[in-house]
């Protein structure tokens, strides 16, 4: 089709505001799928996402919508809805001219609504504001529209109202996409220039490259190359997502779809790269995007050391479809051989662990997560640290820098004071407060990322009784008074339990940490000493008394259910134990480093 009959857009929303449901309605209303073939959240690719009810990224889809007698081709390119994946949001936005900004009529504007709306504005996208779930009795459309005006500066009169559940108002949203979002620019006669916005590895077909054509045409048989790579490929298939892959032979300027070209190696395709004709190439590559850098690291160890190779294979397989995940072998005295893994954030980390356990049937122990640090050494060298064990002697460090983020909270106004003091406790710097209404506000802080990955999200949820939300973006590395805190169990340093902390918090954190450990580690036949230390200086100590008879002894006189509970706990604990010297340490102990209080 001519570019004037194409519209490319994404849906941006806070989690649970109805993005997947609205996408499903688009497919139904445009006849892309029949009601008979329909199953909920069709575009949410991975089972795990469906299970958890969160979307990391939906498949793109091409739908057709008729407006004033003209048939328009609409391409929906999804953006992920979680902070961990915000880099993918801008990546998808580069392939679109507009975005549907979806807000739940009972929940109103939330942290990711604000964050994603700003990203869309920065990317010059035309915003189509939509209020969803107007069928709900709790819907308060007028109030929520006022919030949208206040938070993202849109005109309330432009806001459409719909119910993605009942289908009410959905046709109007499709009409508005055609009417308000500009047609893609682009010249069909220019040399091929296409943006690679995603890819996946299929074990039968090889690499499937997701493209948005900017200029020219791509066809089967054409010789192509990636601007950042030297190799040439011959196109074997070109098609669209409808929503399954359907061949169409060619794609031209403005269109979105996939191409395959016997690419065997996913590393040959860089997301953000420009794909062009190898004989008649375009002269300027597209701006591309930065490869996201993992911000959170933790060690991953097989419970059985002989499963190390199996774990390596499983990680390599995972990486095929998730280039933002990294892993390198490491060994730890306490834990044996395993891998240091890098994640975009805590949710990403949790998802990877679940995938590994489910798909590969491996029992894993994961060490407490830490952020990435930057060290300026006295010899002038700058070094990136992913692991507390890599921190050199204090004497050779000139500057110890940690990542800071700008965090925004959306809160009931009543909770502002509590969140302010929570952030202040965690070394945050107050930036500003903005009221969306008398009862709700946006609060902005600058805060170390390490303080966020502890349990800030859980704290926010409990303080606001579930009503608060947050989102953050990386600012940069800032110098701080940081030290490595070590843990000794039975006089043996457990390297996997070392953490990097701010000096002012070292004593408090060290004490809490060993108290937690005391709870987590079962009694042994001998007394177990627990110590927290900075260098050679012990700052806290505890002991676990020796066992006398069997563990159930302390339940004598107690009821049988208590005993059963204890046995169950022991059985569960057996699955994930690590032997450190003579002491058995359960997985929970490694995790306990995570929580601050």
Is 133 annotated in some ligand binding site?
yes
Which has the closest alpha carbon to 501: 376, 391, 575?
391
Is 179 annotated in some ligand binding site?
no
C-alpha distances in Å from residue 298, one per residue of 244, 301, 398, 453: 36, 10, 25, 12
Is 361 annotated in some ligand binding site?
no
CB of 180 to Mg ion, least distance (A): 24
CB of 85 to ligand GDP, least distance (A): 13
472, containing H or E segment: strand 469-479
Beta bridge partners of 245: 241
Smaller CB distance to Mg ion: residue 82 or 459?
Answer: 82
Smaller CB distance to Mg ion: residue 73 or 78?
Answer: 78
Residue in 30, 55, 199, 531 binding Mg ion, rule: CB under 5 A: 55
**Exposure pattern of 243-255 as b/e (b: 16+ CB <10 Å)?**
bebeeeeebbbbb
Residue in 57, 92, 163, 324 binding ligand GDP, rule: CB under 6 A: 163
Q: Which stretch binds ligand GDP (CB under 6 A): 11-19, 271-279, 322-330, 332-340?
A: 11-19
Question: Which one-letter DSSP state was computed for residue 390?
Answer: G
- Residues 71 to 130 in contact with ligand GDP, rule: CB under 6 A: 81
Report the alpha-carbon distance of residue 1 to residue 482 in Å, rounded. 59
- Dmax of the chain from CA atoms? 87
Smaller CB distance to ligand GDP: residue 119 or 441?
Answer: 119
Smaller CB distance to ligand GDP: residue 103 or 422?
Answer: 103
Smaller CB distance to ligand GDP: residue 79 or 366?
Answer: 79
Which has the closest alpha carbon to 91: 61, 44, 41, 56?
56
Smaller CB distance to Mg ion: residue 20 or 86?
Answer: 20
Residue in 10, 20, 32, 113 binding Mg ion, rule: CB under 5 A: 20
C-alpha distances in Å from residue 585, one per residue of 266, 489, 525, 568: 39, 9, 14, 17
CB of 109 to ligand GDP, least distance (A): 14
CB of 32 to ligand GDP, least distance (A): 17
Residue in 21, 150, 326, 389 binding ligand GDP, rule: CB under 6 A: 21
Is 132 annotated in some ligand binding site?
yes
Does 16 participate in binding ligand GDP (rule CB under 6 A)?
Answer: yes
φ/ψ bin of 28: left (φ > 0), alpha (ψ from -120 to 50), beta (otherwise): alpha
β-pairing verdict for 429-437 and 440-448: antiparallel
Residue in 29, 165, 511, 518 binding ligand GDP, rule: CB under 6 A: 165
> Directed axis angle between helix 141-152 and helix 111-122, to 10°?
50
Chosen from Mg ion, ligand GDP, none, partner binding at 158 (C-beta under 5 to 8 Å by type): none
φ/ψ bin of 548: left (φ > 0), alpha (ψ from -120 to 50), beta (otherwise): alpha
Residue in 48, 126, 135, 474 binding ligand GDP, rule: CB under 6 A: 135
Report the alpha-carbon distance of residue 208 to residue 237 in Å, rounded. 10
CB of 46 to Mg ion, least distance (A): 11
Does 10 participate in binding Mg ion (rule CB under 5 A)?
Answer: no
Is 21 annotated in some ligand binding site?
yes
Residue in 46, 48, 121, 136 binding ligand GDP, rule: CB under 6 A: 136
CB of 426 to ligand GDP, least distance (A): 28
CB of 420 to ligand GDP, least distance (A): 29
- Residues 64 to 123 in contact with Mg ion, rule: CB under 5 A: none
Q: Which stretch binds ligand GDP (CB under 6 A): 8-16, 60-68, 288-296, 473-481?
A: 8-16
CB of 44 to Mg ion, least distance (A): 6
Q: Which ranges constitute the DSSP H helices of 469-579?
A: 503-520, 560-575
β-pairing verdict for 397-412 and 373-377: antiparallel
Query: Are 57 and 89 within 8 A, CB to CB?
Result: no
- Residues 281 to 300 in contact with ligand GDP, rule: CB under 6 A: none
Question: Which one-letter DSSP state was computed for residue 292?
Answer: P
Which has the closest alpha carbon to 130: 104, 92, 165, 93?
104
Q: Which stretch binds Mg ion (CB under 5 A): 51-59, 276-284, 329-337, 411-419?
A: 51-59
Query: Are 102 and 11 within 8 A, CB to CB?
Result: yes
Does 158 participate in binding ligand GDP (rule CB under 6 A)?
Answer: no
The separation between CA 466 and the C-alpha centre of its own chain, rounded to angstroms, equals 20
Smaller CB distance to Mg ion: residue 24 or 495?
Answer: 24
Size of the site for Mg ion (CB under 5 A): 2
Is 252 annotated in some ligand binding site?
no
Report the alpha-carbon distance of residue 412 to residue 367 in Å, rounded. 35
- Number of neighbouring beta carbons within 10 Å of residue 143: 16
- Please report the DSSP string for 120-153 in residue order: HHHTTPEEEEEEE-TTSTT--HHHHHHHHHHHH-
Q: Which stretch binds ligand GDP (CB under 6 A): 160-168, 196-204, 410-418, 449-457?
A: 160-168
Is 10 annotated in some ligand binding site?
no
- Residues 177 to 196 in contact with ligand GDP, rule: CB under 6 A: none
Chosen from ligand GDP, Mg ion, none, partner binding at 310 (C-beta under 5 to 8 Å by type): none
- Residues 40 to 59 in contact with ligand GDP, rule: CB under 6 A: 55
Which segments are annotated as binding site for GTP? Answer: 16-21, 132-135
Residue ranges that bind Mg ion, judged by CB under 5 A: 20, 55
Residue ranges that bind ligand GDP, judged by CB under 6 A: 13, 15-21, 55, 81, 132-133, 135-136, 163-165
């Amino acid at each position: 089709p001519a570019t004037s009959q194409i519209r490319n857009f994404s849906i941006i929303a806070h989690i649970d505001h109805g993005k997947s449901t609205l996408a499903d309605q688009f497919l139904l209303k445009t006849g892309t799928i029949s009601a008979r073939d329909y199953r909920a959240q069709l575009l949410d690719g991975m089972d795990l996402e469906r299970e958890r009810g969160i979307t990391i990224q939906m498949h793109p889809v091409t739908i057709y919508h008729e407006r004033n007698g003209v048939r328009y081709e609409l391409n929906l390119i999804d953006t992920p809805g979680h902070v961990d994946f915000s880099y993918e949001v801008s990546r998808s936005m580069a392939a679109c001219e507009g975005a549907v900004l979806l807000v739940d009529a009972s929940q109103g504007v939330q942290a990711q609504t604000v964050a994603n709306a700003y990203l869309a504005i920065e990317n010059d996208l035309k915003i189509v504001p939509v209020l969803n779930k107007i069928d709900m009795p709790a819907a308060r459309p007028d109030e929520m529209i006022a919030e949208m005006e206040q938070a993202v500066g849109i005109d309330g009169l432009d806001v459409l109202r719909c119910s993605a559940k009942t289908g009410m108002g959905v046709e109007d949203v499709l009409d508005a996409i055609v009417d308000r979002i500009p047609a893609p620019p682009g010249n069909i006669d220019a040399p091929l220039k296409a943006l690679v916005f995603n890819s996946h590895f299929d074990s039968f077909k090889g690499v499937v490259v997701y493209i948005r054509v900017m200029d020219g045409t791509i066809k089967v048989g054409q010789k192509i190359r990636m601007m950042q790579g030297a190799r040439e490929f011959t196109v074997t298939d070109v098609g669209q997502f409808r929503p399954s892959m359907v061949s169409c032979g060619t794609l031209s300027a403005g269109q979105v779809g996939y191409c395959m070209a016997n690419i065997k190696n996913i590393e040959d395709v860089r997301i953000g790269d420009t794909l062009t004709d190898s004989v008649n190439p375009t002269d300027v590559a597209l701006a591309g995007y930065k490869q996201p850098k993992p911000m959170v690291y933790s060690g991953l160890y097989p419970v059985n050391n002989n499963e190390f190779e199996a774990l390596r294979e499983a990680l390599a397989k995972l990486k095929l479809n998730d280039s933002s995940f990294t892993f390198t072998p490491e060994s730890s005295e306490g834990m044996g051989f395993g891998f240091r893994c890098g994640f975009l954030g805590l949710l990403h980390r949790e998802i990877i662990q679940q995938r590994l356990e489910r798909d590969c049937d491996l029992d894993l122990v994961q060490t407490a997560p830490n952020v990435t640090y930057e060290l300026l050494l006295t010899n002038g060298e700058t070094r990136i640290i992913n692991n507390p064990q890599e921190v050199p002697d204090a004497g050779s460090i000139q500057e110890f820098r940690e990542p800071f983020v700008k965090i925004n909270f959306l809160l009931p106004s009543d909770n502002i004071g509590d969140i302010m003091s929570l952030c202040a406790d965690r070394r945050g710097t107050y930036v500003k407060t903005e009221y969306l209404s008398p009862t709700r506000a946006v609060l902005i802080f600058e805060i170390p990322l390490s303080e966020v990955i502890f349990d800030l999200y859980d704290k926010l949820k409990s303080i606001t009784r579930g009503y608060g939300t947050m989102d953050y973006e990386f600012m940069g590395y800032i110098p701080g008074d940081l030290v490595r805190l070590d843990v000794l169990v039975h006089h043996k340093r457990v390297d996997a339990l070392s953490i990097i902390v701010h000096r002012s918090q070292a004593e408090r954190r060290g004490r809490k940490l060993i108290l937690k450990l005391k709870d987590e580690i079962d009694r042994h036949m001998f007394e177990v000493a627990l110590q927290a230390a900075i260098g050679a200086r012990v700052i806290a100590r505890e002991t676990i008394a020796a066992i006398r008879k069997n563990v159930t002894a302390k339940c004598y006189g107690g009821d049988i259910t208590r005993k059963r509970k204890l046995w169950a706990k022991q059985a569960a604990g057996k699955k994930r134990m690590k032997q450190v010297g003579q002491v058995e340490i359960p997985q929970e102990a490694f995790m306990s480093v995570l929580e601050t209080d």
